[in-house]
Structure 1
Amino acid sequence: MRRLLSSAGAIAAFLASAGAYAAQPTPWQTRFQPAATDIMAQTEWFEKYTLWFIIPITLLVLFLLAWCILKYRASVNSTPSRISHNTLIEVIWTVGPVVVLLFLAVPSFQLLTAQYTPGEEAKLTVKATGNQWNWDYEYQVEEPLSFNSAMMPDADRAAAGKEDRAIYPRLLAVDNEMVVPVNTMVRVLVTAADVIHAFAMPAFGIKTDAVPGRINEIWFRANKEGLYYGQCSELCGKDHAFMPIAIRVVNDAQYTTWLAAAKTDLDGANKALMAAVDGGGSVTVAGN
C-alpha cells in the first residue's frame, strides 16, 4: 500500500509540475507514450484495431474451454462420443482464421510500407553512433556539427539547469540532447562503434539496431515541439540501462539559432535554447 501511495503521489506531482508533461515511462504505465509523429499515430490505431480481434477470440476460446470441461467431464458424460469428424466445424476453423488474418495483414502491410517509405525527402540528416554507453551525434550539414550525448550525472544537474526531475527525469536526462526542427523530415543514420546497440524513440514510433560496420536508416517527422525520451533497446553491456536518448524538437528559428551557436559553443547554445524554450521556468516536454 505504501508503494502504491508513493507511485500515486509521483504521478500527481508529475502532472502538476509547472505545465510540463513528458513522453517518458511513468508509474503503472500500460499504454504507449503520446504519439508525436504520424507513423506512431498509425501504430496506435493499428494496436487498437487488433484488439477488436484479439479480445473476442480470447473470450471465445476461454468459453469453449470452459464449456468442454463442464459439459464433457467424466462425471456427466460417462459414455463419450466417438464422432471424429465434422465437416462444418472443419470449414469454420479453417476459413475463420484465414479471414481474420487477412483483416490483420492488409493494414499491417500498409503500416509497414509507410514506415519504410518517407513522404518526402529528408531535410536534415543526423548520424547516431552507439558507444558503451552513450551516443555520438553528427549533423551532416554544410559545416558539420558533432557532439556526444550521455546520461546526466546528478552532480552536474545544477550547473546544467536540469534539476527539475519532471522535465529531466532520472536515468533519462542527458547532457546534450539531439535538437531538430518541428515538422521537418529527419533522417537518422544509425551505427555502432563497439557492440550492437539499438536506437529507440517510442513517441516517434522508431527503433532500429545499431550494428558495428553497418548503417541502418530510419526517419521521423515530429509534429509537436517538446523534449522526447528513448533508450538503447539492445542489451549492450553492464551499463545498458544507463544509455538514454533525448531529442528536443523546437521551432525553425530556435533550431537555426542553436545550430549556429553550437558549432563554436555547444554548452552555451544548449543553455540559450533551454532559456528560450523554458520561457522563465515552464517547458513543454513531449507528447500532448
Structure 2
Amino acid sequence: MNYFILIILFVPQLSSSDISEPWQIGFQDPATPIMEGIINLHHDLMFFICLISIFVSWMLIKTIWHFNKHTNPKASSLAHGTVIEIIWTVTPAIILLIIAIPSFSLLYALDEIVSPTITIKTIGHQWYWSYEYSDYTNEDGEFLNFDSYMIAEEDLTMGQFRLLEVDNTMVVPVNTHIRIVVSAADVLHSWAVPSLGIKCDAVPGRLNQTSLFIKREGIYYGQCSEICGINHGFMPIAVEAVKLPNYISWISNKFND
C-alpha cells in the first residue's frame, strides 16, 4: 500500500494539511479569499479557452476537408469578406473585455493592503527563512524573531513531509488581516505558499509587502520559488493558522523560551 495512504489513515489530522499530492494537476484547496478568486478566474478562463479551442479545431478540420483538390476540384474565387473580417476582429476584443473585468478586480485585491492587525517581516537567507513579529516586544524592547530551518530527512517523524517540514513554523491567527513584509539578506528569494495565493519576491535591500487573511485553521506549506543557489530546494515555508487564543498563547511562550 502507498505510504502516503498509510499516513493519512493512521494520522487523520494530516488529511487537512495543504500540500501537493502525487500526480496532482489542479490547485491546492484555497484558504484565503485571494486564492479562491484566482481559482475562480482560472475556471472562468478555461470555459472560454475550451469554446475557442473547439471552434478553431472545427474550422481547421472543415478547411482541410473542403479545401483540397479531391473534394473541390474547382477552387473558389472568394478572396476575402468584409463582414467575416469584422466578426473575427470584434469577437476576440469582446471576449478580452469580458475577461478583463474579473481580472482587474482580482489584481486590485492582490495589491490592496487592508489595515493590518499584525505585521510580520519575512527575510530570506541562503538557505532558510527568518521571521520577525515587530508588533510585540519583551521587557528589553526586543522584537520576537526566530529562524526557520528545514528538518533533515533523517530527523523526520511519522506523518511529517519530506522537504516541507521546518523546525519553527510561522504561526498566525485565522480571520485576521495580516501584512507580510518580504525581503532578503543575500540573494533573490521568493516567499510562496500556493494554498494562500501568495508569491512575493524577496529582494536584497528592498521591502515588498503582501496581505494575508486565512479563513480556516491548518498548516500550509510552500517553498522558495526563486532559484537562489545550490540549496534552493531546501528552504521550505510552513505557515500554521490557529485560533486567536492559541496564537496569543504561542506568542507568550515564544517570549518565555
Say whether 1:13 aligns with 2:6.
yes
Q: CA deviation at 1:251?
A: 0.9
Q: Which residue is 1:156 aligned to?
A: 155
The residue correspondences of 1:80-91 to structure 2 (distance < 5 A) are 80-91=75-86
Q: Which residue is 1:235 aligned to?
A: 227
- Name which of 122, 126, 133 aligns with 1:128: 122
Say whether 1:41 aligns with 2:36.
yes
List gaps (5 residues or longer) in structure 2.
138-142
Note the alpha carbon deviations across 1:207-229, whole angstroms, 9 max, x for none: 11111111100110111111110
Cα distance change, pair 112–17 in 1 and its aligned pair in 2 (3 A):
farther
CA distance in 2, matches of 1:58, 1:238: 41
CA distance in 2, matches of 1:236, 1:112: 27
Q: CA deviation at 1:10?
A: 4.5
- Matched residue of 2:86: which SS? helix
* TM-score using structure 1 length: 0.83
Q: CA deviation at 1:14?
A: 4.8
Q: CA deviation at 1:261?
A: 1.2
- Name which of 232, 242, 255 aligns with 2:247: 255
* TM-score using structure 2 length: 0.92
CA distance in 2, matches of 1:104, 1:10: 42
- Matched residue of 1:151: which SS? coil
Q: Which residue is 1:283 aligned to?
A: none
Q: Which residue is 1:210 aligned to?
A: 202
Q: Which residue is 1:200 aligned to?
A: 192
**Structure whose residues are more often strand by fraction:** 2
Q: Which residue is 2:140 aligned to?
A: none
- Say how many residue pairs are matched: 250
Q: Which residue is 1:221 aligned to?
A: 213
Q: CA deviation at 1:89?
A: 1.1
Note the alpha carbon deviations across 1:153-182, whole angstroms, 9 max, x for none: 13333xxxxx133xx310101111001111
Q: Which residue is 1:274 aligned to?
A: none
Q: CA deviation at 1:11?
A: 5.0
CA distance in 2, matches of 1:115, 1:18: 35
Q: CA RMSD in A?
A: 1.5
Q: Which residue is 1:284 aligned to?
A: none
List gaps (5 residues or longer) in structure 1.
1-5, 158-162, 266-288
Q: CA deviation at 1:246?
A: 0.3
Q: Which amino acid aligns with 1:45?
A: N
